[in-house]
Amino acid sequence: MSTKICACCGQTFQPDPRVKNHTFCSAPDCQKERCKKWRQMIVSDNANIPIDIGLVGFLPLARFAYACQ
Ligand SMILES: [Zn+2]
């Protein structure tokens, strides 16, 4: 099992294997930050899907972002 470093708080965490590009831990503040980034991503330009996510990673990530409503 590999761990990742949270892009928000810098703590290490266990990424969910179902989530691609899992860069935030499960702390409430970090989840809020994740949602903010996600919204900026889709609001700024719908067609501008980041290259490192790509179409393959887009749908799982969209499902993950669902909790942001
Ligand atoms: Zn965090």
- What DSSP string runs through 44-56? H-TT---TTTHHH
Please give the distance, rounded to the nearest whole angstrom, from the Cα atom of residue 54 to the centre of ligand 1: 24
Q: Quick one: average pLDDT of 4-13? A: 94
pLDDT over threshold 90, residue 61: no
Count up the domains in the chain and report the number: 1
C-beta separation of 50 from 38 below 8 A: no
pTM of the model as a whole: 0.59
Rg (CA), the chain: 12
CA angle 56, 67, 3 (to 5 degrees): 65
Closest CA to 68 of 39, 29, 44: 39
pLDDT over threshold 60, residue 50: no
Query: Which residues lie at CB < 5 A from ion ligand 1?
Result: 6, 8-9, 25, 27, 30
Please give the distance, rounded to the nearest whole angstrom, from the Cα atom of residue 7 to the centre of ligand 1: 7
How is residue 67 written in tokens? 């909790």
When pLDDT is cut at 50, 70 and 90, the band that residue 37 belongs to is confident
Please give the distance, rounded to the nearest whole angstrom, from the Cα atom of residue 45 to the centre of ligand 1: 26
